[in-house]
Structure 1
Amino acid sequence: MKNLNLCSGPQSEGGKNMGLRRDSLKACPREKKSMTLQKLFDLDSPRNGASKLARSSNGSPRKECQDSENEEIFSLIPHCSVFYTFNNPQESPSQQDLKRLKLIQLLSIIKCSKTAFNREVLSSVFSMLSANLFRPLPPSKTSLICILPDDDELVATPSAAWSHLQIVFDIFHRLLLKTDPKELREYIDHSFLVNLLSLFRSEDPKERESLKNVCHQIYSKFTFYRSFMRKAMNDVFLHYIFEADQHHCGIGDLLEIWGSIINGFTVPLKQEHKLFLTRVLIPLHKPKGMQAYHRQLAYCVSQFVHKDAALGGTVVRGMLRYWPVTNCQKEVLLIGELEDVVENIDPEHYRTIALPLCTQITKCLNSWNSQVAERGLYVWNNEQFVKMASQAMEDVLPVVVRGMEKNLKYHWSNSVKQLTQNVKEMLQGLEPSLYIRCLSRLALEESAAQHREMTRKEMWERVEMAAATRNQCVHQLRCICVSSYD
């Protein structure tokens, strides 16, 4: 009761203060108890003790873990930096296996690490990458890789060092994924990129595939290197096009990278990109090894035409300029590519390219190679191609009629003759009156040609008769001279 009176009744200043303090304690007894218990739990917790112990030292647990990772990486780098050719009998297989084990350990550390590496670690790792990747490539064993199309049996020649290089590429790729490009700029410079692109000459398809993935990653993340990478790849293409007897296994892989680059171009296209089409992509139709990378090349060209249909005329004229003379396989590929280009070309350019394009197709359907002739005839089944030709039918049809009539009379293949007859009937139904005029004109030209041939033969007969008469007279004179001398 006394306590209640002290809290509720009027008191002196000191008693009043005491009453307030007791009232406050009664108002929150649970809160004080809970805070006290929590404090006791925290004090008795072993985790708290460990954190105190860590704080009492100079570093944190994360710092100690990172230091141990760095020390382990530094211990692995010397073993991983030794390069083995796998061709030298003095190389120890056990040492090669040891290096592979160390590379796997290094890859595991980089995968599991959740912190960024410092400059010393990155410098050591990139020195190891350069020592493994930038090595002299062996000379080409066969030229079939550069002449024939992609064929696993002919192209697949895995490198003996791939068991190591595969892990090296994985390490490189992991670093690109988890490290800020600005931090790697010191190590991935222009010289590094040029050396990286030079590795596309490797005959190992697995290595080229890994290179392609790494270059894709660098181009997408290192935006400040995009212009330089495009220029460096262009230098590789131009060296391959214009240097004699040059073999390069990675042109198709580089074109795959360019395909994704072109796909990201904005419209309207920059003049720099249009120059790449005219100065690099179109001349790439010229080398004799075009079959090996034609699929990727055709995709790049079609991407340009899709983005700017007005470039179709430039593409067609450029391909006709580099048309092969004796390579039938290239002719078949180029006919198919031209057919695809025509389907996406700007109709305003139909009339300008109709005559040169149909003239070349007519030469193809007159080819003695049945595959080329049949492919040239199949083009007329394409509705877009026929629509293009119809824009200049007055100029195109006489050339085509002459080629088809030649096929029907002289070609050795019955299948080619049958296809020619089908195309002839289609064109006759399309332009009957014009077709008749073309046949009449062709008959007159053939008659005039026959007349010229007969005149030429008669002239040569007269020359031969005159020469024979002269020879006879000379012989008689010689006989007279000899008889008089006797």
Structure 2
Amino acid sequence: MSVTFTVTFSLIDPQTPGSIKINILPKDIETMAHRELAFQIFIRFLMANNINIDINKKEIDEKIVSKILQSLVTSNKDERESAVALMRHVYLKCIKMRPYIRQQINILFHRFIYVNGNLHGISELLEIANDIISGYNTPLKADIEDFLLKILLPLHNTDSLAQYHGQLSDCVVLFVSRYPVLTATFVRSLIKIWPKTFTEKEILLLDEIEDILATTSQEEFLKMLVPLFCQIIECAVSPCYKVAERALLLCGSDGIMNHMEKNHKAIMPIVFPALYRISHRHCNAEIKKLVCTVLKMFLNINKDLFMKLKKGMTTLKVINSRKENIVILGNNED
């Protein structure tokens, strides 16, 4: 049964114009039109600035918040959208209820991640989470860090990631921009759960990495440089064209170029061998073209290091060729 609210108003003091008391009672309403009307009345009342609203824990309590949250995870998309708007205003106006709202939202996320992966309303919950993150204040607290690493991070590991990744990525990017010290920790943790054979998810995660790097400090970048570029180059050599293309485009994006220029001496030895092999062996002309673009970028950044790495690859190629010839001669003698 869908749940919404009836809202009744009564004057607290007839002598005080605009003095209104709110009384909110949960009530079952059968039609979406009625539910929508009730939500809109409630929202308009919460938005009112020209009246004295007596809203406290007595009027909007845990029971009311729980009913709104039930509407957030219903299968009816219109109802979820109305509930999002209502919950945002409740969270903004009812400061005493904020800890309870955060707790209950975390419980819903936990249920989705570990119990029921088919829960509706994850996108809508993430929209509210984004508002909550916007209101976080420094210094960093343990429960705030837990939200990033125990809620937002595991949400990347579900099969339905594509359905809510836009909202999830927005939350993560906002979070690490407010708490930069957690950027490297999050990215390293994300790499540990990186999908191996799920093309769509890999592309989504590469998109998110690009957005994160756009706001990453040099200090945090250095902490994740090695695992990050090992993962990027692993994607670049993927047999899946779309994954390889996205990884190579990431290497040339504005968000990462500045970091690559500053840290090329550490990055080039990681990525050059694979890029060099792709440029000579890959069967797809578009991938070869993208690789050549990245290699040309490295050449312009540091020609001496580029030529040194290229010489190393040429020498290795000669050595491997000689080993192959020795094996062939040995087999012929047999």
| TM-superposition CA deviations, 1:54-93 (whole Å, max 9, x none) | xxxxxxxxxxxxxxxxxxxxxxxxxxxxx79xxxxxxxxx
Root-mean-square deviation (Å): 3.3
1:222 corresponds, among 71, 94, 104, to 94
Q: Is residue 181 of structure 1 aligned with residue 51 of structure 2?
A: no
In the alignment, does 2:29 pair up with 1:132? yes
* Counterpart position of 1:50: none
Q: For the structure 1 residues 126 and 401, does the alpha-carbon distance in structure 2 shift closer, same or farther, using more than 3 Å as the test?
A: same
Task: Give a deviation string over 1:369-422, Cα, whole Å, max 9, x none.
Answer: 222222211222234523323454344212311221232233232111111111
Shift of 1:209: 0.8
Out of 201, 214, 221, the position equivalent to 1:330 is: 201
What's the counterpart of residue 15 of structure 2?
none
Map of 1:91-110 to 2, 5 A cutoff? Answer: none
- CA shift in 2, pair 1:111/1:284, >3 Å: farther
The AA in structure 2 aligned to 1:214 is L
Shift, 1:171, TM fit: 4.2
**TM-superposed deviation, 1:219:** 0.8
**Match of 2:77?**
205
Q: Is the 8 A contact 1:110 1:175 kept in 2?
A: no
Residue matched to 1:470:
none
Tell me, in whole angstroms, the C-alpha distance in 2 between the residues paired with 1:260 and 1:431.
44
Q: Is 1:269 aligned to residue 167 of structure 2? A: no
| Code of the aligned partner of 2:33 | S
1:237 equivalent among 85, 109, 114: 109
Q: Which residue of 2 aligns with 1:364?
A: 235
Alignment coverage as a number of residue pairs: 324
Higher strand share: 2
Task: Quote how far apart the aligned CAs of 1:456 are.
Answer: 7.3
Alignment CA distance shift 1:281-1:453 (3 Å): farther
Q: Which runs of 5+ in 1 are unaligned?
A: 1-82, 85-102, 134-160, 466-486
* Equivalent residue, structure 1, for 2:253: 382
Q: Deviations over 1:126-161 (max 9, x none)?
A: 142xx238xxxxxxxxxxxxxxxxxxxxxxxxxxx4
Q: Which residue of 2 aligns with 1:153?
A: none
Q: CA–CA distance in 2 between the matches of 1:267 and 1:414?
A: 50
TM-score, normalization: structure 2?
A: 0.83
Q: Does 1:166 align with 2:65?
A: no
Equivalent positions of 1:281-430 (< 5 A) are 281-430=152-301
How far has the Cα of 1:442 moved from its partner? 2.5
Percent of counterpart pairs with the same letter? 25
| Larger gyration radius, structure 1 or structure 2 | 1
| Aligned-pair CA distance for 1:255 | 1.0
1:194 equivalenced with 2:66 (yes/no): yes
CA distance in 1, matches of 2:118, 2:215: 33
Deviation at 1:212, TM superposition (A): 0.4
Q: In structure 1, what residue type is equivalent to 2:25?
A: F
* Pair 455,193 (structure 1): closer, same or farther in 2 beyond 3 Å: farther
* Matched-pair contact (CA < 8 Å) for 1:241–1:287: yes
Q: Shift of residue 322 of structure 1? A: 2.2
Q: How big is each residue's C-alpha offset from its partner over 1:450-485, in whole Å with a ceiling of 9 and x where there is no partner?
A: 5666777889999xx8xxxxxxxxxxxxxxxxxxxx
The answer for the alignment partner of 2:121 in structure 1 is 250
Worse overlay, 381-390 or 325-334:
381-390
Q: 1:329 and 1:361 mapped to 2: Cα distance?
A: 15
* SS of match in other structure, 1:344: coil
Residue 168 of structure 1, CA deviation: 3.2
CA distance in 1, matches of 2:326, 2:73: 61
Normalized per residue, the structure richer in helix is: 1
Aligned to 1:154: none
